[in-house]
Amino acid sequence: MPFLAAASAARTMAKKTPTQLARTLASVVDAPKLHAHYPVVPGSLTAHLQLRSGETFTGGSFGAASATVGETVFTTSLVGYPESMTDPSYRGQLLVFTQPLIGNYGVPRRTRDSYGLLKHFESERIQCSGVVVSDYATKYSHWNAVESLSEWCAREGVPAITGVDTRALVHILRGQGSTLGSLSAGAQPLDTASIAWVDPNADNLVAQASTDDIRVFNPAGDVHVALIDCGVKYNIIRSLCDQGARVSLVPWNHDIMANLSAYDGIFISNGPGSPTHCTETISQLRRAFAVYQRPIFGICMGNQLMGLAAGLNAYKLRFGNRGHNQPAVDLTNGKCVITSQNHGYALDDSVMPEGWARYYVNANDGSNEGIRHLEKPFRSVQFHPEAKGGPLDTGYLFGEFVDSVRAAKQAGLAATLSEDISASAQAATA
């Protein structure tokens, strides 16, 4: 019964517009700007987090002695900081961890699996622009750790600050929305007049995060899946390969229409920034929707790009959904699942295009968590079924997708309508 109640509430929220879904929180109106100072051990380097809205936090530096600007966002994840920091979806962002203690299990070794992917990271390097924590653990302990979080950040040139009242900071971000911030190491904060407040979302971050070349994983797989790389997490590739698929990782703007019949299925990955920059991908998907008959699936950015291709609009969430504890309700059966999420944009599904339906809805705020086609095998989710770091509630979606790809191939389903029509015409004249 609790699931049914959650589903009913989610359906009610799903009918509301993005404006009606705006979260209201208790906040101090016209209060003086917060300037928080954390005492730093004598001889240690000081770091400064300065928000464009005027708030400042001074604490200890435990990363690179450098400065950066990014969108200040927060994650409620309790574990998995190596996976979160290497997630390409965090590109261009200052990542605030609400979990108070960070760094206590260090950084794992760069071990690779049978597909050549790093086992414990979601990409080859740290993707976020900076790290903000309440309490950095200077001593780490884990059997697989090879260096500290501080050493890792310093080696990769990423500034990091500890001693920040993250509860106060998150309260600010929830109240006014994700905000541009400057993170710098040094005795004094930067002169705000000299800071170049560049919004990373103004750039095509997907183009920066995507591969430049086609890469093939698990070449012996029995079905061939084109994985459009918008900033893919390694565990998405691994999850598809584990299901027996041969995966061709292609650039975000790859011309899939040129060789559409070569793919048994199409998969669109997660990625950073605004989906509206990916006009080439949207155009490719829109053309594929018209003729492709085999399964298509999208995750996170993939959900948004499929939605835009179908005719929906996207909007920026006030502070996004980032963490490992977001409830999503499957509108086909009323089941609620706990999901991992990392996105700052969402689809406006208040009016669905003809032939499409809502698939999942967020049980907290009613925002879109997925769409599906009513006739064709096209569907997508906003959350992360691969969820490296957990939870594992929705990992079955990879199996369902690859199984549907395999079933379509075994049934001899033509890749496109034109091939189907051509085959029918040849049979009629034989």
299/269 Cα distance (integer angstroms): 5
419 phi and psi, to 5 degrees? -65, -40
Chain position carrying tokens 């517009």: 17
64/68 Cα distance (integer angstroms): 10
CA distances from 203 to 55, 181, 209, 275, 298 (A): 25, 17, 12, 11, 22
Helices 417-429 and 279-291: crossing angle in degrees, nearest 10, is 30
Tell me which of 48, 254, 324, 384 is the catalytic residue.
384
Structure tokens at 131: 């790290």
- In three-state secondary structure terms, 279 is helix
223/393 Cα distance (integer angstroms): 25
200-227 CB burial, b ≥16 within 10 A, e <16: bbebbbbbbbbeeeeeebbeebebbbbb
- In three-state secondary structure terms, 321 is strand
What does DSSP say about strands 93-97 and 179-185: parallel, antiparallel, or unpaired? unpaired
Dihedral of alpha carbons 275, 279, 283, 285, sign: negative
- Our answer to whether residue 124 is catalytic in this structure is no
214/234 Cα distance (integer angstroms): 15
CB 315 within 8 A of CB 346: yes
- Our answer to whether residue 384 is catalytic in this structure is yes
Tell me which of 300, 324, 343, 373 is the catalytic residue.
300
- In three-state secondary structure terms, 173 is helix
- Our answer to whether residue 300 is catalytic in this structure is yes
Distance of CA 21 to the CA centre of its chain: 21
Chain position carrying tokens 């990769």: 156
Tell me which of 55, 83, 122, 386 is the catalytic residue.
386
377/142 Cα distance (integer angstroms): 44
Chain position carrying tokens 């998969």: 267
Structure tokens at 108: 């794992």
Whether the link from the prior residue into 391 is cis, omega within 30° of 0, is yes
Which residues does the annotation mark as catalytic?
A: 300, 384, 386
